[in-house]
Amino acid sequence: MTFKNIAAGVCGLLFLQTGFAQTKLKTGEWRGALKTKSGTEIPFNFEVNNTGGKPQLAIINGAEHFKVTDVTTKGDSVFIHMPLFNSDFKLKLNGDSLTGNWVRHLADNDLLVPFSAVPNTSWRFFKSPEKPAFNIGGRWSAVFGEGQGRDTTVGEFKQNGNKLTGTFLTTTGDYRYLEGSVSGNKLYLSTFDGGHAYTFTATISDDKTITDGKFYAGYSSVQAWTAVKDENAKLPDAYSLTSLKPGYKKLAFSFKDLDGKTVSLDDSRFKNKVVIVQILGSWCPNCMDETAYMVNYYKKYHNKGVEVIGLAYERSTDFEKSKKALQQVKDRFKVTYPLLITGYTSDKKQTAQSLPMLSKVVGFPTTIIIDKSGDVQKIHTGFSGPGTGEHYTEFISEFEKLTDDLLAAVPAP
């Protein structure tokens, strides 16, 4: 995905020593807010609790609670390491509140985004929103950007009074769990999971038209968007967006796993097996949604004759940096299939160069399905995760039906 798009959370009592005084980070629900370059907030809620005496917190986005367990304190400082996406919070406790920065560790530098949080606060955008002028629940055709950069997506929203939840589906994945409010004729949605940091605002002109939209992503990105109600809105077939080049039937590669061992599709463990090749990156939230699914899929199908391989394209070409990031993914999701470090970056042109038999790579994740004869049967671009509801369950049903059919087929001689 380009957010574009996993998770559960946790936090406990944080005991901070200031001289002889012991300060306690308050348990319960908090409101946190990132401050973008334009001054717009990206707000989210999180819970603080004490699980087994260990500091933990849970970031809340709609139905998702994203677990964060790596919390340390020193004096009046609080350090929170996000379990995925290579970022941290470096904060200071001021009374009952927290202030500081969300630090994103990029390939060449660190990006600091101002952050603050207050306890005992369950509202996200408004403590007392206005009565909603419209109910926008349903499906929308939403267009982001202008000119050649236009991206047509499908917005799906559920509205209960002022409360609004939903997501945007794109050709490369979804924007995961969005939560917010309708106040008067204004729409507000946001999400934060350590990878996605988004706020959406817009004017609801009537129950069929959304105008003047602004999409704030990370610290500085701002994009216009509009939408019209369309219950028949849909995206192109995810299996139609990329393919093998003419003359190719098979995929070929040799990359190292986390232990430095070279793994190839020619290895005996993949012979006469259905093989799923997952193109992913540890920086990609939609890839993490797919990995969470793929771990359970592998448990279900491995003994039936299925193998899964993850090909990782990281922000850096450095093996050790990539290994560290992927080890977190492996530990977080308890991945038992091989994750390979390709040594190529997440630039889509580089990804395509590493697999020259592909016509192109449109987005992350991309999933390649190989039959027992070693021939590529289908290539799926993107992943609609659990935040998309029925689209997620439909994908699983379709994907596992395809697996069953390939397992039942007799390999070509």
Amino acid 16: pLDDT: 36
Tokens of 268: 């005996």
Average pLDDT over every residue of 234-243? 94
Tokens of 27: 């348990």
Residue type, 284: C
Cα separation, 281 vs 291, in Å, equals: 10
Amino acid 7: pLDDT: 37
Q: What does pLDDT average to over the chain?
A: 91
Average pLDDT over every residue of 228-255? 95
Give the CATH fold of the 254-408 domain.
Glutaredoxin (3.40.30)
Q: What percent of the chain has pLDDT over 70?
A: 93
pLDDT one-digit tens code per residue, 177-195: 999 999 999 999 999 999 8
Average pLDDT over every residue of 142-156? 92
Amino acid 24: pLDDT: 66
Sorted by sequence, the CB contacts under 8 Å of residue 243 that are 6+ apart come out as 358, 359, 379
Amino acid 224: pLDDT: 97
Tokens of 217: 């992503």
- Residue with the bigger pLDDT between 43 and 317: it is 43
- Residue with the bigger pLDDT between 239 and 52: it is 239
Per CATH, the number for 138-229 is 2.40.128.120
> Is 412 a residue whose pLDDT tops 80?
no
Least confident range from 95-104, 141-150, 157-166, 235-244: namely: 141-150
Average pLDDT over every residue of 145-151? 86
Tokens of 182: 């309708």
Cα separation, 5 vs 364, in Å, equals: 10
| Nearest-5° Cα angle at 166, 119 to 378 | 125
Average pLDDT over every residue of 136-161? 94
Tokens 């909603």 — which residue?
Answer: 132
DSSP, collapsed to helix, strand or coil, labels residue 39 as coil
Cβ count near 177 (within 10 Å): 25
Amino acid 413: pLDDT: 66
Nearest partner of 2 among 166, 141, 147, 173, judged by Cα: 173
Amino acid 350: pLDDT: 87
Amino acid 190: pLDDT: 98
Could you tell me the sign of the dihedral formed by the alpha carbons of 165, 144, 216, 134, in that order? negative
57, 70 Cβ separation under 8 angstroms: no
DSSP label of 125: S
Burial label, 246 (beta-carbon count in 10 A; 0-12, 13-18, 19+): exposed
pLDDT one-digit tens code per residue, 278-312: 999 999 999 999 999 999 999 999 999 999 999 99
Q: What is the band of 35 on the pLDDT scale with cuts at 50, 70, 90?
A: very high
In angstroms and rounded to an integer, the radius of gyration of the C-alpha atoms of the chain is 22
Cis geometry, peptide bond prior to residue 365 (ω within 30 degrees of 0): yes
Amino acid 152: pLDDT: 95
Alpha helix ranges (H) inside 185-318: 285-305
Q: What is the band of 1 on the pLDDT scale with cuts at 50, 70, 90?
A: very low
DSSP, collapsed to helix, strand or coil, labels residue 127 as coil
Q: What percent of the chain has pLDDT over 90?
A: 80
Query: Cα 395 to the chain's mean position, in Å?
Result: 17
Nearest partner of 280 among 82, 81, 1, 7, judged by Cα: 1
Is the pTM above the cut of 0.85? Answer: yes
Q: How far from 189 is each of 59, 183, 365, CA to CA, in Å?
A: 15, 11, 24
> Is 21 a residue whose pLDDT tops 60?
no
CATH 2.40.128.120 domain residues, the chain: 28-119, 138-229
Cα separation, 31 vs 44, in Å, equals: 6
> Is 37 a residue whose pLDDT tops 80?
yes
Cβ count near 261 (within 10 Å): 9
Tokens 């969005």 — which residue?
Answer: 178
Least confident range from 50-54, 304-308, 373-377, 400-404: namely: 50-54
Least confident range from 5-19, 21-35, 343-357: namely: 5-19
Q: How far from 176 is each of 17, 24, 62, 288, 307, CA to CA, in Å?
A: 38, 33, 10, 11, 27
Amino acid 9: pLDDT: 35
Please give the class, per CATH, of domain 28-119: mainly beta
Nearest partner of 68 among 30, 21, 17, 110, judged by Cα: 30
Q: How far from 147 is each of 67, 88, 308, CA to CA, in Å?
A: 39, 36, 39
DSSP, collapsed to helix, strand or coil, labels residue 212 as strand
Average pLDDT over every residue of 237-245? 94
CATH 3.40.30.10 domain residues, the chain: 254-408
